[in-house]
Structure 1
Amino acid sequence: MDQDREQGSALDPRYDAAGLVTAVVTDHRSGEVLMLAHMNAEALAATLESGEATFFSRSRGRLWKKGESSGNVMRVVEARIDCDQDAIWLRCEPAGPACHTGERSCFYRRIDRDGPTLVRTIEV
């Protein structure tokens, strides 16, 4: 256990071998999970500085500010980090749908255990 990292007050993210941490984004009012993405050190710094969520796109290989093309930015109300500093939780106010499909959340389907099939959900 790294006691300084797990119980101290210094921000010291533990990035994986690719230089990333997982970021979970929720609606700050409802608590609904909106999306999951990844951040490198540059994305985390940009997010904390600007107050708008910025991620590292693994498919594009570059920084990606949420809403840069759609206008659906995520204004960060609060940023938290987990106990061993390898996951970020962003509580945000979304300016529109979080998902590129136009859905409010990227988690708009549940897995039906009888199928297994995907079932579209209206509410979480």
Structure 2
Amino acid sequence: MIRGVRGATTVDKNDGEAIIEKAHELMLAVIKQNDIKAENVTSVFFTVTADLDGAFPAKSLRKLEGWTHVPVMCMQEIPVPNSLARCIRVMVTVETSRVQEQIQHVYHYNAKQLRPDLRS
């Protein structure tokens, strides 16, 4: 079955190293908590809020062995008034035997407020 695994994190400032570091930390947690193997990943989509343009969060995957050929794309979130600032979101589309309720979505730092019902 193909499933989507969500995650989100925040950074303190629009800094390229911070963006890549927090995206990397987020991806490590998503991978570990869902036992994801790169060869089972269809694609990864990152989004960032308009206040983050210091780096592409997709660069964080270059630090992961075996992820070189996984298709990755970065996009900008729609600018909804009063939305969470300095936020990086990710959607990993993966082939897995887990049922929907077994997927562990990951929310770090200030992004925990986005989905308190799915905290991990």
TM-score by length of 1: 0.26
Which fold has the larger relative contact order, with Cα–Cα distance below 8 Å and residues 6 or more apart in sequence?
Answer: 2
Of the two, which has the highest radius of gyration? 1
TM-score by length of 2: 0.27
Name the one with the larger helix percent: 2
